[in-house]
Amino acid sequence: MNKNVTFSIGGIHPNDNKIARGCAIEALPLPQTLYVSVAQHLGAPAKPVVAVGDKVKTGQVIAEPGGFISAFVHSPASGTVRSIAPRKDLAGNWMTHIEISVEGDEWVEGVDLSDTLVTGIPEDIPATLEKIKACGVVGLGGATFPTHVKLNPGPQAHPECLILNGAECEPFLTSDYRIMLEKTKEIIVGAAIMQKVLGGVKTVIAIEENKPEAIEAMRKALSELPYGNISVLVMKKRYPQGGEKQLIDAVMRRQVKSGALPVSVGAVVQNVATSLAVYEAVQKNKPLITNTLTVTGDCLPVERQHNYLFRIGMPLSFIAEYAGGVPAEAAKIVSGGPMMGKAIANLDAATVKGSSSILYLSGKLTKRREEGSCIRCGRCSDACPMGLEPFLLNRLYKAGDVEGLEANAAQDCIECGCCLYSCPSFIPLLDNIRMAKGQVMGVIRARAAAAKAAADAAKNENKK
């Protein structure tokens, strides 16, 4: 076992705290009402195609893509559409939600609900992609980028390697680990389908060394299944190994250039949960309406930690209540991992396709300590996995120097939080750099828009 596989620069080693690793996935019961957001994915929000009062079945399309980068949304249960109205999301901002009053769990026709493993890989690639799109599959690693777009990189691109992301480098989260244990074969079939779509490329299932059971299970399942050119790669434990560019670096030893897509170095990265969703979509016709979520935290006793199979649109408060309520010591409730997740401002918010956890953190872990002066120790620069200089970006942001920020690649920040984690002076580096990134991205977009307008004007000139 080569124990030195990891990305080349930066990174930190937070305690992994995978307390819920032993909890088997448990399906949640349906609540009385589900609130399905139309913004479940990266890109344009979906457009509702149902009206108030309509009867819907589980898995029925209730919203269609609102643009090229967008995805279908399906009903998570059968029932009646009660309203299509704005509702507050996780951050407390208004977003259109389709409210469904649940009457049962009657599925649309053509969905295979059995547990039988279907191993035959369909030959027709366009039909497979169409199925993935129709089932609303999006990347479940966090960014929720529509999978059919990522699997179809265009004729100019030459994918060489499909990387299945089983790193789960965020502390506390165990949902990917559990599905790798419980749905091992399904994940591998999903990988084989994506491998086929990308033209039979080399496929690597990358898992961090702190999940030996998952590695063992994957290896065993691979030897039992008839697919070739798929292997398991064991990586050193390090955060943020699950970041797309970091994972490509670890697996392929290639660096993605600033502003370029992973496919420019021949890599396509998909999360293991996405692979499972692809399997269910292609082999079982099952749209993406479920995902796995971990209820965990440092102030939650082990026996109250769970891994749940949830339906999209379930209010987080329902799940929290089912899991035994919010612990009294919880100072902060986070959706996502402790490093990159967002604090939940509104526990009534509904789950979306990409929800991965309800994390109760104690005051001890979340306390913001008073900001000190930068002592130029350089720890943030050492920790940054993108090779940036966070202390410099912080200073440039404070000075309002957008040009300087762009020259120092603030736009490449992946917001992993390593700088903030490593800063001995508790300077809110990430918060400021995130703002700086927004400013720089705005400038870049404005410039691209101006260039496009100029090109269009020149074209019109030529036509005249």
Partner 1 sequence: MNSTIIWTIVILAGLGLVLSLVLYLVAKKFKVEEDPRIDEVEKVMPGANCGGCGFAGCRAFAEAAVKAPNLDNNYCPVGGNEVMKQVAAILGYEIKEKAPMVAVVRCNGSCANRPAVNIYDGVKSCKVKAALYSGDTACSFGCLGCGDCVEACQFGALSMNPETGLPQVDESKCTACGACVKACPKAVIELRAKGPRGMREFVSCINRDKGPVAKKACAAACIGCGICAKTCTHDAITVENNVAYIDSGKCKLCRECEAVCPTGAIHGVNFPKPLDVEATKARIAKRKAEAASGQPVATKGPGSMVNGPLAAQAVPSDAPINKVVSK
Contacts with partner 1 by CB under 8 A lie at: 88, 90-94, 342-343, 345, 366-368, 428, 431-432, 434-435, 438
Q: Are 183 and 173 in contact (CB under 8 A)?
A: no
Q: CA 318, 319, 320, 324: dihedral to nearest 10 degrees?
A: 100
Is the Cβ of residue 371 or residue 456 nearer to partner 1 in the bound state?
A: 371
Q: Are 360 and 326 in contact (CB under 8 A)?
A: yes
Is the Cβ of residue 86 or residue 301 nearer to partner 1 in the bound state?
A: 86
Is the Cβ of residue 345 or residue 448 nearer to partner 1 in the bound state?
A: 345
Amino acid of residue 281: A
Min. distance of Cβ 33 from partner 1 in angstroms? 18
Instruction: Give 146's contacts (C-beta < 8 A, 6+ positions apart).
Output: 41, 42, 43, 65, 69, 70, 71, 133, 137, 138, 139
Q: Specify the 3-state DSSP secondary structure of 37.
A: strand
Min. distance of Cβ 93 from partner 1 in angstroms? 5
Spatial CA neighbour of 135 closest among 279, 272, 350, 351: 279
3-state helix, strand, coil in the chain (%, to 5): 35, 20, 45
Min. distance of Cβ 305 from partner 1 in angstroms? 24
Is the Cβ of residue 160 or residue 431 nearer to partner 1 in the bound state?
A: 431
Strands (E), 283-425: 290-297, 306-311, 330-335, 342-343, 357-362
Q: 336: left (phi > 0), else alpha (psi -120 to 50), else beta?
A: left
Is the Cβ of residue 306 or residue 332 nearer to partner 1 in the bound state?
A: 332
Min. distance of Cβ 139 from partner 1 in angstroms? 23
Is the Cβ of residue 3 or residue 364 nearer to partner 1 in the bound state?
A: 364
Is the Cβ of residue 104 or residue 325 nearer to partner 1 in the bound state?
A: 325
Apex 11 CA angle, 5 and 13, nearest 5: 90
Min. distance of Cβ 43 from partner 1 in angstroms? 19
Between CA 215 and CA 167 the distance in angstroms is 11
197 phi/psi in degrees, rounded to 5? -60, -40
Is the Cβ of residue 83 or residue 152 nearer to partner 1 in the bound state?
A: 83
Min. distance of Cβ 159 from partner 1 in angstroms? 34
Is the Cβ of residue 291 or residue 432 nearer to partner 1 in the bound state?
A: 432
Is the Cβ of residue 3 or residue 342 nearer to partner 1 in the bound state?
A: 342
Min. distance of Cβ 344 from partner 1 in angstroms? 9
For residue 129, how far is the Cα from the chain centroid? 20
Min. distance of Cβ 300 from partner 1 in angstroms? 20
Is the Cβ of residue 93 or residue 229 nearer to partner 1 in the bound state?
A: 93
Amino acid of residue 152: N
Min. distance of Cβ 5 from partner 1 in angstroms? 35
Min. distance of Cβ 234 from partner 1 in angstroms? 36
Q: 233: left (phi > 0), else alpha (psi -120 to 50), else beta?
A: beta
Instruction: Give 256's contacts (C-beta < 8 A, 6+ positions apart).
Output: 244, 245, 248, 262, 264, 265, 267
Per the document, the length of the chain is 464
Min. distance of Cβ 363 from partner 1 in angstroms? 10
Between CA 187 and CA 277 the distance in angstroms is 8
Which residues make beta-bridge pairs with 99?
35, 83
Strands (E), 108-220: 161-166, 202-208
- Around Cβ 354, how many Cβ atoms within 10 Å? 22
Min. distance of Cβ 274 from partner 1 in angstroms? 27
Is the Cβ of residue 45 or residue 287 nearer to partner 1 in the bound state?
A: 45
Spatial CA neighbour of 156 closest among 270, 260, 41: 260
